[in-house]
Structure 1
Amino acid sequence: MKVLWLFAHPDQRSLSGALMSHGLRTLEAHGHQHRVSDLYAMKWNPVVDAADYDHDPTDRFLVGPTSERAYTEGHLSPDIVSEQEKVTWADTLIIQFPLWWYGMPAILKGWFDRVFVRGFAFGLTDPATGRLRRYGDGRLVGKRAMVITTAGARASTLGPRGVNGDLNDLLFPLQHGTLWYTGISVVPPLLIPAADRTTPTAYETATARLGDRLRTLPTTAPLAFRHQNTGDYDDDLLLHPHLPPAPTGPAAHYASQPPPVHD
């Protein structure tokens, strides 16, 4: 594998930092290549700005077409270009972050906002149908991704009946709405629970689980998200009524439900 490891934690001495170091050693031991984007260490700018695209400030700033034009014409900010080159190089993305307020840290959201611009990560149209190629198709098809997240909560509280909601539902905007949208296949996430109460034994368990997931990552079956353009959705992007009744919300967009989260 050629792995881009996206890391979003402000302290490399943290549990998250230790897990990343262990994960990178595991990749190296098994002959995989890796590059790292440590966003806090890089002092990554998460804020979309007209200056990213060499945009004329006297014109309206329409982010989609402006960013696409800058990408096509080679006017993107150098820090964005550098990250896009890493994504192009990689066949696998590891996206690691602490679960803060039921989502990823702002610095990581800003990485996607600035790097996954139209023209680079999305925006293809099927000439035969006129439909946009997204949700399982598109510019980044063929790549895989796995989310690693630490949480203060116990794993059981991030399951279907837990007070925090199911982890895959919390990660739906990232796993389905960002990664799958651009064509990236997403394997089930790795949750490291009770992160602020880690013991030496719990740390050994966490590193063992991480090592197992990295070793099997090339062959792990991805989450079974429905494809937009293979018959499940109509022209209005609504699920066809002939499909078997499914739960509402995120669960409706899986062809088969993901496995439950375990400790």
Structure 2
Amino acid sequence: MHALWVWAHPHAASLNGRLREVGISALDATGWSVDEIDLYREGFNPLLVERGEADVRHHQDRLSRADLLVVQFPLWWYSVPAVLKGWIDRVFESGFAFDVPDPETGKPLKYGKGGLAGKRALTVVTAGDRAATLGPRGISGDIEDVLWPLLHGTFWYTGMDPLRPHLITTADEVDASTMAQIEADLRVRLEGVMTERQIDYRPMTEEHYDHTIRLHDSVAPGDEALSAHRQSGSETPG
């Protein structure tokens, strides 16, 4: 199996830097080959000006070869760092990641289908918030809702299987004993990354959505939250 590890943090000597070392080492120890894109150290240009530039094609080739995409970043203002957003803007191009036609209907494949179908996508996220604030009823919102644009609007939209975020909270207060547990948890998570259950987002089919791409009234009746776009209250096998 082959993984592409994309990370965005300005300081290599940081918690994120250590997570990157542990994560890549854990994959390597279980037989993975790993390609790494360090957006800050590589000086990736996040500005989308022209499509199809040479550096974008290179990154697309690297993504195409991956069975697993790991995207690692600190949570800044409830989103990803600008350089990572720019990487997605430039690399996930029309005709490559989306707007890929269905060979049977000619319509664009999306939401569970698309140019990146068959890949799994895991986010490794650090946050200064306490765990409860990024959970159900937390003031910051549940992490899966906070990252909805990435998990559903990017990964699922382009056909990838999104996995629940691997969240490290209280990131500014990590001591040695806490770090040891964080490292162990990440290793365990990566050992089972290809067999764990994906987030069970609904596919864009007539069974779930009407012609306006709105959920049928009979689907998750009374649920006006993002959870309505999941097929159940729990996750289903991917």
TM-score by length of 1: 0.86
CA shift in 2, pair 1:251/1:137, >3 Å = same
Q: Which runs of 4+ in 1 moved over 6 A?
A: none
Deviations 1:151-196 (A, max 9, x none): 0111111011111111000000000000100000011110001111
**C-alpha displacement of 1:230:** 5.8
Q: 2:135 aligns with which of 150, 156, 159?
A: 159
CA shift in 2, pair 1:211/1:230, >3 Å = farther
| Structure 1 stretch displaced more, 202-211 or 244-253 | 244-253
Residues 4 and 63, structure 2, Cα contact 8 Å, conserved in 1: yes
**C-alpha displacement of 1:244:** 3.5
**C-alpha displacement of 1:128:** 4.7
Give the SS at the match of 1:209: helix
Tell me the residue number matched to 2:149.
173
How far apart are the structure 1 equivalents of 2:222 and 2:234?
14
**C-alpha displacement of 1:132:** 2.6
How far apart are the structure 2 equivalents of 1:138 and 1:146?
18
Residues 224 and 257, structure 1, Cα contact 8 Å, conserved in 2: no
Higher helix share: 1
Tell me the residue number matched to 1:236.
212
Deviations 1:196-224 (A, max 9, x none): 11000110111011001100001011000
How far apart are the structure 1 equivalents of 2:105 and 2:32?
39
CA shift in 2, pair 1:204/1:135, >3 Å = same
Count of residue correspondences: 235
Return the letter of the residue paired with 1:142: G
Matched, 1:79 2:67: no
Determine what percentage of the aligned residue pairs are the same residue.
Answer: 43
Tell me the residue number matched to 1:222.
198
**Which sections of structure 1, spanning at least 5 residues, go unmatched?**
54-75
* RMSD between aligned residues: 1.4
TM-score by length of 2: 0.95
**Structure with bigger gyration radius:** 1
Tell me the residue number matched to 1:213.
189
